[in-house]
Structure 1
Amino acid sequence: MESVVIGGRDLRTFPARDGSGVRVATVGTYTFTPEQLDSLARRVIAVERTFWDSDRGAPFLVTAAPIVGSPTTMGLGGTGRGDAFALWVDQRTPLASMKWLLAHEYFHTWNPGQLGEMPQDREIRPTAYWFSEGFTDYYARALMVRAGLISPAEFATLWNEMLAAYAGSSVRTMPGVRTAAAFWNNEAAQKLPYQRGAMLAAIWNARLRAASQGAINLDTVLHAQIVAARSSREQAIALFPLLAGRNGLNTAADLDRYVVKGEPILLPADTFGLCATILTERRPSFSRGFDADATAKAGNIATGVDPMLPAYTAGLRDGMKILARTQGEPDNAVVPYALLVEDKGQQRTIRYLPHGLEPVTVQQVQITHAPGRECLRTLGGL
């Protein structure tokens, strides 16, 4: 039995009066209103229920509670609870960022629970996360753009943030067994199955479409898998390759290269169809110029400032209190970075390019056609 308990003086509740079975409850204040979150949650849930052709009208609860993020990053996340999920949201988070989070969390209603078994051992379970988490990430973006809930530009931004983080990951080439062993204690290792799985899902979807002239895609395989899983005790990561093979896709070599051995993944230029292209370039690696983990543990007092990097050259020093990041993007080395700091009782802004010491190969999605209905379809994998 799983449950969610939420309450407070500013509790807002939205009952299931529209026939959807969806209820929403929030506490706290955000950049968006409770009514906006309620409306968005119902739209996202409707899209995914249509995709799976199931659960229409089933009871489901969405809760949201506020958290305070660090000065340099916004935090948000969620966890599934059977017929509910609970969200924890940084109060600075814009409503647009909630689309992906809602889509990801609700997709877990089916993946992996209705697509096959998962390893029961906590230490082994991360070996299956390329499917349960990576595919969920892929469909969170794909279904939202298909439905027009995000624009092609927003779709590209979501992918580009992930691709930049993957390119600069310190564990990018870590083999699968080591990734699983490090998963619970290493933030970069935690992200890796999500990244690898989403990229493989995009690659395999494109191959299925190309081989079948658009008649078959990844949807075809997952819809067959949910049926097969009803009468099978196989793990989801065993059922998927089997059903992919029946649809003309052999995944064995890719799984061995990229998941087991940890070779770097590169998306083909035409992964997302005629509406976009994948650019591959060498550029500086991303570095804030200080030890972010140690700084957070020190109460946002700058720690481990590297004298070899631009942050130091711009004036950042150990001991300064970081109050806020006012410019810049996580993992993006080509966008200027700015920190509001307190230095000897005075506030000032330090600006610099967040370059690391070594260049990296980064892929980015570039939209090449004017947005239209067909563009939304092809970006979404149809």
Structure 2
Amino acid sequence: MALRLEGVSIAAGEALLGLPLVTGNVDTVATVLSGLTARDEDGVLSLEARDAAPAMEDGYGDDAQAREWVTNRATRGTIEVEYSVPAEATLPPRGPAPPYSFLQDGGGVSAAGHVFLLMPPGDTQYRTTIDWDLSEATPDSRAVSSLGEGRVEAGDAMTANTIRSGFYMAGDIETWPEDVPSGGFFGAVQGTPPFDAAELLSWSGDLYEQYAEFFGQEDIPPYGVFLRHNPVNAGGGVGLHRSFVTTFDEDSTPEGLKSTLAHEMFHTFQPRLDEPGGLASSWFTEGLAVFYQSRLPLRFGQVAPEDFLEDLNSHAARYYTSAMAEAPNSEIPARFWADTRIRTLPYDRGMLYFVTVDHAVRTASEGQRSLDDLMLEMLRRQQSGETLTPNDWEEVLRAELGESAVEDFRYFIDGAKPVPASDAFGPCFTRTTETLRRYELGFDPAVLAEPVRIVRGLDPDSNAARAGVQDGDEIVRPVPQDSIQGQQDAELTLLLRRNGEEFSVTYLPRGETVEAYQWDRVESVPASACGL
């Protein structure tokens, strides 16, 4: 890696460079990078590493600790930095996490900037150029970042955190279209998916253009979708700066990835609450994205009603069977990575809450208005420079539906279950009740989010215990949980280590039965009438 920093002045004893130690539950290369050197117009800069607990304004996001490199003297003029990082994951995965880490696969390499880009602390904005040296790569190698292919100059000034929020992929990779455009949608693929990646990316590009029209954007900025292999939690992904990363395995299908792509591309356009930031406001960010991830493709004719119904019922089953369904929103930030049932709450409960708001607005306005109008009003406020908070949402609710809607919102934040009306999803779908089983891991769920996963808190009456899991077993590989909560028949396979021997245990992670809401297709209504 080589960085060239111009217009940066660092005093003696201050941090020249920094990188979080862990970001999004993923270890960065801060502890394993090598060959770090820095020089300016006066020569070599001596750097000393230190670990610090940074503030938000230091530019590390909400990560708890960072490694910084302090300069022995004041810098002068242009600063040039070089260092090397391993081109593959060098630290064991901690558990559920976004696909940030280095992956060397299929003749290519990829990673999010979060895990490897050293930058000066702070929120300074930089005119940014990204360039690649492929002189020692295999013939026909290519390089793509969130800003486009090859050498790219960012159109807007970027902070260090924004630069890190890009994704980077190089080597033997494929793109769609073949010639990556300077603006609009593009895709890049590392490895060999078990489906037609070009067809999936073409569908995604069409939807992205529909989103841009829906949000009134005429000049569409660059937006990239990156596909790469993940044998542990395929189908998941993460939204980054003007890009989204999703993953596949040998069983992945394009249908299974479409809702994920629709969800994450929506994030690019939607409003976000500024205060409180992060996971505390994920009910708003993720709830809206789940609401629209199937609603808009159905409206645009890009998915069938049956696909919409499958997505809806998966989220509804996951939520209404959850033992944590009524946990207050205040518990989400601290327990997000430790318990999959908490982690999915902003998505499922948030979506169902917004469905109730949408139905109330449509009913009160006799179909003339919808959640679209409230969401776009929040976006208008944000684009005008306002700092969005829950108070803004309450103001919008109060103006549209009155004080009772504000009270309902506060109950929702405190954990109240949203229950949409039978026809809240339109004339094609009607609510029903089914007997389903709760998701039950069988032991302390925090175990799966730890670097060394040692089973504890085993319930002796659980299916895990009946299958042979014991307290003290080490779970060798991370396992996905988020999606299988909504799949009643999905089994969980654990690779365990006990007394030095490894073996697999498979069981159905389900417990007691409960009544849960689902929706059925009204067959007498044609598909053409389904899109709200």
Whether these two folds match at TM > 0.5 is: yes
Query: What secondary structure, in the 3-state scheme, does the structure 2 residue paired with 1:65 have?
Result: strand
> Aligned-pair distance for 1:224?
2.9
Give a deviation string over 1:217-268, Cα, whole Å, max 9, x none: 1112223333333334231533333233333355311221111x21222222
Structure-to-structure mapping, 1:288-367, within 5 angstroms: 294=447, 307-310=460-463, 316=468, 330-331=484-485, 334-335=488-489, 337=491, 354-356=509-511, 358-367=512-521
- Equivalent residue in structure 1 for 2:197, among 29, 34, 43: 34
> Aligned-pair distance for 1:276?
0.9
Over the aligned positions, Cα root-mean-square deviation in angstroms equals 3.7
In the aligned structure 1, how far is the partner of 2:314 from the partner of 2:173? Answer: 34
Residue of structure 2 in register with 1:209 after alignment: 362
State whether structure 2 residue 440 is matched by structure 1 residue 287.
yes
> Aligned-pair distance for 1:4?
2.4
- Residues 309, 332 of structure 1: alpha-carbon distance in 2 compared, 3 angstrom cutoff: farther
Task: Structure 2: state its 5+ residue gaps.
Answer: 1-157
In the aligned structure 1, how far is the partner of 2:444 from the partner of 2:457? Answer: 5
For structure 1, which segment, 85-94 or 231-240, has the greater mean C-alpha deviation from structure 2 after superposition? 231-240
Q: Is the 8 A contact 2:271 2:375 kept in 1?
A: no
State whether structure 2 residue 356 is matched by structure 1 residue 196.
no
In the aligned structure 1, how far is the partner of 2:385 from the partner of 2:444? Answer: 47
- Equivalent residue in structure 2 for 1:94, among 249, 253, 262: 253
The aligned amino acid for 2:192 is T
Give a deviation string over 1:12-56, Cα, whole Å, max 9, x none: 453567896222211112122331232122122022112112145
- Equivalent residue in structure 1 for 2:274, among 98, 111, 118: 118
> Aligned-pair distance for 1:337?
4.4
Q: Is the 8 A contact 1:207 1:249 kept in 2?
A: no
> Aligned-pair distance for 1:94?
1.3
- Residues 277, 252 of structure 1: alpha-carbon distance in 2 compared, 3 angstrom cutoff: same
Residue of structure 1 in register with 2:243 after alignment: 85
For structure 1, which segment, 19-28 or 125-134, has the greater mean C-alpha deviation from structure 2 after superposition? 19-28
Residue of structure 2 in register with 1:267 after alignment: 420
Q: Is the 8 A contact 1:339 1:349 kept in 2?
A: yes
Query: What secondary structure, in the 3-state scheme, does the structure 2 residue paired with 1:141 have?
Result: helix
Query: What secondary structure, in the 3-state scheme, does the structure 2 residue paired with 1:100 have?
Result: helix
Residue of structure 1 in register with 2:132 after alignment: none
Residue of structure 1 in register with 2:396 after alignment: 243
Q: Is the 8 A contact 1:15 1:22 kept in 2?
A: no
State whether structure 2 residue 371 is matched by structure 1 residue 222.
no
Larger proportion of strand: 2
Residue of structure 1 in register with 2:171 after alignment: 8
TM-score by length of 2: 0.58
Q: Is the 8 A contact 2:339 2:446 kept in 1?
A: no
The aligned amino acid for 2:529 is C
In the aligned structure 2, how far is the partner of 1:55 from the partner of 1:239? Answer: 27
In the aligned structure 1, how far is the partner of 2:337 from the partner of 2:489? Answer: 31
In the aligned structure 2, how far is the partner of 1:63 from the partner of 1:289? Answer: 35
- Equivalent residue in structure 1 for 2:208, among 45, 66, 79: 45
Residue of structure 2 in register with 1:156 after alignment: 309
Residue of structure 2 in register with 1:174 after alignment: 327
Residue of structure 1 in register with 2:147 after alignment: none
Q: Is the 8 A contact 1:302 1:321 kept in 2?
A: yes
> Aligned-pair distance for 1:61?
2.3
Residue of structure 2 in register with 1:277 after alignment: 430
- Equivalent residue in structure 2 for 1:139, among 292, 298, 308: 292
> Aligned-pair distance for 1:118?
0.9
Q: Is the 8 A contact 1:284 1:333 kept in 2?
A: no
- Residues 130, 289 of structure 1: alpha-carbon distance in 2 compared, 3 angstrom cutoff: closer
In the aligned structure 2, how far is the partner of 1:268 from the partner of 1:374? Answer: 22
- Residues 19, 342 of structure 1: alpha-carbon distance in 2 compared, 3 angstrom cutoff: closer
The aligned amino acid for 1:78 is V
In the aligned structure 1, how far is the partner of 2:249 from the partner of 2:320? Answer: 29
Residue of structure 1 in register with 2:224 after alignment: 61
TM-score by length of 1: 0.79
In the aligned structure 2, how far is the partner of 1:273 from the partner of 1:77? Answer: 29
- Residues 15, 321 of structure 1: alpha-carbon distance in 2 compared, 3 angstrom cutoff: same
Q: Is the 8 A contact 1:66 1:90 kept in 2?
A: yes
Q: Percent identity?
A: 22
- Residues 333, 305 of structure 1: alpha-carbon distance in 2 compared, 3 angstrom cutoff: farther
Q: Is the 8 A contact 2:356 2:419 kept in 1?
A: no
Q: Is the 8 A contact 1:310 1:354 kept in 2?
A: yes
In the aligned structure 1, how far is the partner of 2:451 from the partner of 2:167? Answer: 32
Q: Is the 8 A contact 2:235 2:260 kept in 1?
A: no
In the aligned structure 2, how far is the partner of 1:175 from the partner of 1:283? Answer: 23
In the aligned structure 1, how far is the partner of 2:494 from the partner of 2:391? Answer: 50
> Aligned-pair distance for 1:184?
5.0
Count of residue pairs the alignment pairs up: 360
Larger proportion of helix: 1
In the aligned structure 2, how far is the partner of 1:185 from the partner of 1:331? Answer: 15
Q: Is the 8 A contact 1:15 1:24 kept in 2?
A: no
The aligned amino acid for 1:220 is D
Q: Is the 8 A contact 2:428 2:527 kept in 1?
A: no
Give a deviation string over 1:171-226, Cα, whole Å, max 9, x none: 22222223333335443322212222211111111111111111111112223333
- Residues 372, 317 of structure 1: alpha-carbon distance in 2 compared, 3 angstrom cutoff: same
